[in-house]
Amino acid sequence: MTAPRLMAVHAHPDDESSKGAGTMARYAAQGAEVLVVTCTGGERGDVLNPRLQHDPRAQEDLPALRREEMAAAKAALGVEQVWLGFVDSGLPEGDPLPPLPPGCFALAPLEETSRALVAHLRSFRPHVVLTYDENGGYPHPDHIMTHVVTMAAIEAAADPAAFPELGEPWEVPKVYYHVSFSRDRLLALHEAMGAEGIESPFGDWVARWDGRGSRTVTARIDVHEFFPQRDAALLAHATQIDPDGFFFAVPREIEARVWPWEEFELVRTTLAGQATAAAGAPAVEDLEDDLFAGVTL
């Protein structure tokens, strides 16, 4: 096993295509082994693409259709993918919030969910793991639980006393959170679109930004050459992604010129000389440009 190995743990099918997809496509093209672990099947999702609102297959068997979409997205990115095997929790709304449905991922015992991920960590033995921050990136119960499960499983995978039946321990050298919507990114794209006379989808975000939920960026990966793979993966999730919607609002030539990066926050490392976000925000010139920096194969 001499190739660098990257694992990305996501809550639902389509999350892998909207968070870090360009980075995964870049590393896969460079010969790295890249594995997406999808915690749930997206069973309680809605059809978000208005063009498919009345599609019979989407109405009759959305889970099966989402699995087909995931297979197409995986192929577009050039990565491998496995299902962790848990059931979508849905996104409860209302005041008061209704309870989560019995048997869903967000209510499953942590020993059960983390054990399932430990099995993949020990078999795949990733050098880098990507996941969500403690707020889930946004507060969907499955995203928050994905964070909890990933961090618990990383700890357990390195512990010889935990789940010994699942194989030899593996300590992940580097763990990153996705930083999908930094203020710098939103502002740069917003201003560039305004300068071109194009309506920006980020105006309200920039105006309302209060700093809550901000993350410390420690790595920027240039992925502009892999926008086509990322966009193909997004479009593969046809029930979830509107081709005329938010994800395609920024002209790609502007994005490539102004913000060609995907950003990450290093939160855990076993490698000497590697600084996590806890050490403070690095200067722009000190940001990592390779998630495998410092890794010895």
Q: Which domains occur in the chain, in start order?
A: 5-182+214-286 (3.40.50.10320)
Q: What is the pLDDT of residue 241?
A: 96
Question: Is 237 known as a binding-site position?
Answer: no
pLDDT at residue 1, as a whole number: 61
pTM score of the predicted model: 0.96
The answer on whether 159 is annotated among ligand-binding residues is no
Annotated binding residue 46: no
Mark the ranges of the chain whose per-residue pLDDT is less than 70: 1, 213
What does the pLDDT read at residue 97? Answer: 85
> Looking at residue 155, what is its pLDDT?
98
Return the pLDDT at 209: 84
pLDDT at 53: 87
What DSSP string describes the chain?
--S-EEEEEESSTTHHHHSSHHHHHHHHHTT-EEEEEEEE--TT-----GGGTT-HHHHH-HHHHHHHHHHHHHHHHT-EEEEEEE-------SSSPPPPPTT-GGGS-HHHHHHHHHHHHHHH--SEEEE--TT-SS--HHHHHHHHHHHHHHHHHT-TTSSGGG-S----SEEEEEE---HHHHHHHHHHHHHTT---TTHHHHHH--STT-----EEEE-GGGHHHHHHHHHH-TTT--TTSGGG-S-HHHHHHH--EEEEEEEEE-STT---GGG-PPPGGGSBS-TTTT---
- The pLDDT of residue 94 is 84
